Structure 1
Amino acid sequence: VLLESKFDADRTWELVERHKVQILIITGDAMGRPLIEAHQPSRTDTSSLGVVASGAALFSPVIKDAFLDAFPGLLVSDSIGASETGFGGIGFATKGEKQVGGPRVPAGRYALVIDENDVPVEPGSGKDGWFAKGGYVPLGYYNDPEKTREIFREVDGRPVVVTGDRARIEADGSITLLGRGNMVINTGGEKVFAEEVESAVKAYRDVYDAIVVGVPDERWGHRVSAVVQARDGRGVDFAGLEDHVRQSLAGYKIPRLVWVEDTVQRTPSGKPDYRWAQGVTKQRDPDHRT
């Protein structure tokens, strides 16, 4: 069952009821939050739903918990993959779980984490690296040898695709996705993954959506900053937001600059539009500085 036009949360629930949909495939928080806030059991029978599966963008714990509260017995999953590699792994949510960055998935037969020298990272070492996928992979990109060398590599004599995601391999062999490598914010010598901060910011009561970026700073290199959309047009209690984020993040990860926009823009696929957010930070002064 496909929506005939652009995503609409109310229309989606109507289709779930009409067609007794059992599995709902969405794009992270971009669809998850509107869906859970539009869900009204008294108006729409959605009892057929058994699985909510997300991919392609961050599905934060606060939204997963909301689905698990609304649908007893629901299975909520995160999956990872890429156009170049296909399916990469799947993880399942439990109520109240602490999530750092993206999903944690069992390591597949051909999934691994490698360092800057294309050497596999040992499980449980605590070191992060690049998520890579082997097995049946393409030879490269058509007429683009430079990008082919960057993405398609060899590890222990076997071809792999390096997706651009930073990851950590746990002691049990599972892999935790930390965030896109090109969205790591370096501040005062520390690495901050935008997705982890976004998850904490979006869990605050005044915030409907958020994108986290780095803003150049002479002293720190970059400052962790956020462009947020307030819930229902309300303002944002900045002191309350800082206190909330501080409960789950280290001090250097807390956004020091915050911009409030009417709407946080996302790409057509539902992913955060980081280029747009960077443009916002350059166009006007921040609403708040901490």
Structure 2
Amino acid sequence: MQYRQLGSSDLKVSEISLGSWLTFGVGVEADKARAVVDAAFDLGINFIDTANVYGRGAAEEFLGEALSGRARDSYVLATKLYFPMSDRDRGLSAEQVEKQLDASLRRLRVDVVDLYQCHRYDDETPLEETMKALTRAVRSGKVRYLGFSEWPADKIEAATQMADVEKFVSSQPQYSMLWRAPEEAVIPLSRANGISQIVWSPLAQGVLTGKYAPGAPPPPGSRATSEEMGGWIDRFLTHAVLDRVQRLRPIAAEAGLSLAQFALAWVLREPNVASAIVGASRPDQLAENAAASGAKVDPALFAKAEAILA
């Protein structure tokens, strides 16, 4: 496993990180989920990402139990806030930052989170209020560094220009060979301000593994067959997209990689990406994905794949 600096922080994170959306606490049985966490450590994965809203606290509670026997300095722990935790609790107000952070710390059984992220931008709260609340969280010792997920470029820039507040070190966008929107503004802006990308859905919810064949029903037990875990996968399940993904197989093989590994290596080719978040329900899935770290791929093969998907 290779490691990269997370923005302007002093954190070194594994190129492949373990996510918990739709898996821990909800989609995967506890004993199987614990096996995945154990496998992550065996593979050298040190970065674990979660959020208060995943399972309405269930993912954090699971991780609090699963990580309780491990040395605190053996992993980098990230969580988030914004989405509703109840009818009254949502957003990035000063009250919610304080309340949701304390609740996450209790569930995770830790005194400090390494990275606290705004899960989305809150149009109902002044940016200054949010940044000052996050700054207090850092200076209180409960949070080490700050990040955001899917913020508009103008709000990112406004936060970077604000005086006497702690600065963001990470951005968590959706980014994959099938979703390249961050390249337009978010990555250049982040690069200029000491912010790294922590990518979610680098495999386009499993579509870039090649498991979904055009014209065929989804494999039994796959994400596309699950109401809980299906998310927004339908947008990638068109015949045209699936056909093009299948045409990537010989290119990945030429690189000596599986299709999933090739897709992860493509994301990691971008220097501003510090880590690619993957979810897993089995240790063998995680092991395959982790093998993408450090892969050396001829840029001409990436260009060939991009041309097919374009």
* Larger relative helix fraction: 2
Looking at CA atoms only, which structure, 1 or 2, has the larger radius of gyration? 1
TM-score when scaled to structure 1?
A: 0.32
